[in-house]
Amino acid sequence: MINKGYLTAKTNKESDEVYTPEYAVKPILEYIDKGNKKSYTIWCPFDKEDSNFVKLIREEGHKVICSHIDDGKNFFYYEPEEYYDYIISNPPFSIKDDIIKRLYELDKPYAVLMPLNVLQGQKRFKYLKDIEILVFDKRINYLKDINGKKEIQKGVSFASIYLCRNFLPKELIMKELNIY
């Protein structure tokens, strides 16, 4: 039998327990507003209240619904009851195939951080139809919780991109990452 335990439980992968620095959230904010509405509703499905996605998207004047597996809201089973416009977050990379499939099935515009190598892979390829990507000149160093304090982990070994669907105005956008 295929082990699908990770769909019901937390992955427990240490590499998944990382947090996104503000400088990596900022570049996606300008693409949220592309219609006539002043304020959109964004679902951040891998986020608690202290997430920089939640904080910075709210600061832009949008409404944020955040959910996290620790609060019993598993992305593979939970979806907000109220209407939302976009999904934006940084999901656990170790289960990226299943996340991309679920995003495809939810069929909502999305922008999620992913490692660059997400672009190739037989299992996920069919769910990557119609994607757009935002590529950076630099790598993103994520934050880790060290004794209750979020600290930057330098020297990350992979590049990150925003994988998007029905979100960016064109298929490929190259952007300089302003690290501060």
Ligand X SMILES: C[S@@+](CC[C@H](N)C(=O)[O-])C[C@H]1O[C@@H](n2cnc3c(N)ncnc32)[C@H](O)[C@@H]1O
Q: Which is nearer to ligand X, 17 or 130 (CB)?
A: 17
Write down the least CB distance from residue 86 to ligand X, Å: 14
Pure H helices in 30-157: 52-59, 96-106, 122-125
Distances (CA, A) of 38 to 1, 32, 35, 41: 49, 10, 8, 10
Write down the least CB distance from residue 20 to ligand X, Å: 3
Q: Which is nearer to ligand X, 91 or 109 (CB)?
A: 91
Q: Which residues lie closer than 8 Å to 18 by C-beta, 6 or more apart?
A: 90, 142, 143, 144, 153
Q: Which is nearer to ligand X, 19 or 110 (CB)?
A: 19
Q: Which is nearer to ligand X, 75 or 167 (CB)?
A: 75
Q: Are 85 and 42 in contact (CB under 8 A)?
A: yes
Write down the least CB distance from residue 36 to ligand X, Å: 29
- Whole-number CA gyration radius for the chain: 16
Write down the least CB distance from residue 166 to ligand X, Å: 21
Write down the least CB distance from residue 38 to ligand X, Å: 25
Q: Which is nearer to ligand X, 72 or 155 (CB)?
A: 72
Strands, E, within 51-147: which ranges?
A: 63-66, 86-89, 110-115, 131-136, 143-146
Nearest-CA neighbor of 138 among 154, 119, 120?
A: 154
Q: Catalog residues that contact ligand X under the rule CB under 6 A.
A: 10-11, 16-20, 45-47, 51-53, 68-69, 74-76, 89-92
